[in-house]
Structure 1
Amino acid sequence: MTLEWDFGAVTLKSLTSYPNDEIAIQRDNDRHDLEPCLHSFLLQSYFDPENKRANNTTQEFNLISTSQPLGS
């Protein structure tokens, strides 16, 4: 969302965003990729699903001069 206010000599601009992310991954938590040779002796790789939500808000303000640069 962008809003602007004109105060004559300056303009104030407000920029706001609300990103929302949903993350679903499956991770190899023991970091082994080898298929075990002896199934009764070794366990296969362990995979664990992971679900996360990220809700953020960012805010930026810009104060912009509308007058001529100094020395002009």
Structure 2
Amino acid sequence: MWCLRRQTRFRELIDVLDKVGPRFGSLLIAYAWIRSVPLPGFSGATAMSLIQEGRADDVLEYIDGVDAGVFA
């Protein structure tokens, strides 16, 4: 069971990387952002910590909001 959960989280991480990678011009820089930058509105949580909690959809919605200018 834990293996399936790990695979799901990995897939979610890839989905987020696919979405933000082009913004940073490098998957390595995008990965660093996911791991280290606290997202506003999530009590200091990073995208990675949210993904690990099973909240990848929240991260993707946040990114869509930024694209739409909601969080600008």
With normalisation by structure 2, the TM-score equals 0.17
Who wins on radius of gyration, i.e. which is larger? 1
Going by fraction, where is helix more abundant, 1 or 2?
A: 2
TM-score normalised over the length of structure 1: 0.17
- Bigger fraction of residues in strand: 1
Higher relative contact order (CA 8 A, sep 6+): 1
